[in-house]
Amino acid sequence: MKFIYQTWWKALAVLLIFSTLITGLLLPVPRLAILHETIRNLYFHVPMWMGMLSVFVISVVFSVMYLNTGKEEYDLASVECVNTGLLFYALGLVSGMLWAKYTWGEFWSGDPKQNSAAIAFLLYCAYLVLRNSIDEEQKRGKISAIYNIFAFPIMVVLIFVLPRMTDSLHPGNGGNPAFGKYDLDNGMRIAFYPAMAGWSLLAIWIATIRYRIRLIEYKRNSID
Amino acid sequence: MKRFFALLSLILCNIFTYAQQPSNVEMADTMRSSGKIYVVIGVICIVFIGLAIYLFSIDRRLKKIEKGN
């Protein structure tokens, strides 16, 4: 885990996102009814979910590693990844709500995508509540690691699979056009892929900062 | 690094080759033609640079504390 102390990938994250701030707003986009210029949200709203997904995947990996080795550090890394993921989760939800207000007419219209995203959000909130309600260190680590491993696939199904099988209004669901169709015949890739990579790296960066703080706290507490 | 920048400049070359698609769908063309969109981009860039510098400074402070422990 030497790389979390290195700077190059943090600078890369900033550079990638910075480039998409310019290209994402200036490059030509497909002219589509209803969406209009909000199609550019693809560069700013969707990467929030990508950032969330990245840290959640890392969190699951650390949970598995914790169950294998019983090292407390892995448990701390896992929980801090979830904490950071929930920040990006909230950003994705709120930015999506703002978009929905001006595209669907309501901040919250009970769309399948919105509803299942809310359920999955509560699922991860329950993880933190469960975790904080157990005092004993090893028990807490084990139970929360197992919960985390099961919560992840349920979250993926709720957010990315179920809304696609019903009549969701969200782009990409229920016969609505998704970005995949456009970025193949347009220049949207130039802004979209760096945005996905950049925001993922930024999410990981924030998670590593939280983990390092947590590690210092943990070492301090164990000395006392 | 040199090759990376060469690749980047080649990728960015095709930005200028896009032709306008004739269509009646309403876009923010007037804002763009009067140049105001650049103001928005400027504001967003300033905000993001500020946040990035802030994150880097947190990272540096954390490094100092870690060395002290």
Is residue B66 in some structural domain? yes
Is residue B63 in some structural domain? yes
- Expressed as residue numbers, the domain containing A65 is 2-223
Distance separating alpha carbons of residues A43 and A183, to the nearest angstrom: 12
- Give me the percent of chain A exceeding a pLDDT of 70: 93
pLDDT in tens, A28-70: 887 777 777 888 888 899 999 999 999 999 999 999 999 999 9
Structure tokens at B54: 């802030």
Q: How many domains does chain B have?
A: 1
Helices A137-156 & A112-132, crossing angle to 10 degrees?
A: 170
User: What are the chain B neighbours of A22 within 8 Å (beta carbons)?
Assistant: 41, 45
Q: Does any CB of chain B come closer than 8 Å to the CB of residue A206?
A: yes
B37: pLDDT strictly greater than 70: yes
Q: Does any CB of chain A come closer than 8 Å to the CB of residue B51?
A: no
pLDDT in tens, A172-185: 765 555 555 555 55
pLDDT in tens, A135-180: 999 999 999 999 999 999 999 999 988 888 888 888 876 555 555 5
pLDDT at A39: 83
Structure tokens at A149: 């491993």
Q: Residue A187 half-sphere exposure, CB side, CA atoms within 13 Å? A: 18
pLDDT at B39: 77
Complex ipTM > 0.95:
no
Residue A10 CB coordination number (10 Å): 20
In the stretch 61-120 of chain A, residues with CB closer than 8 A to chain B read none
- Expressed as residue numbers, the domain containing B62 is 32-69
pLDDT at B35: 58
Q: What is the pTM of this model?
A: 0.82
A18 to B63: CB separation less than 8 angstroms, yes or no: no
A134: pLDDT strictly greater than 70: yes
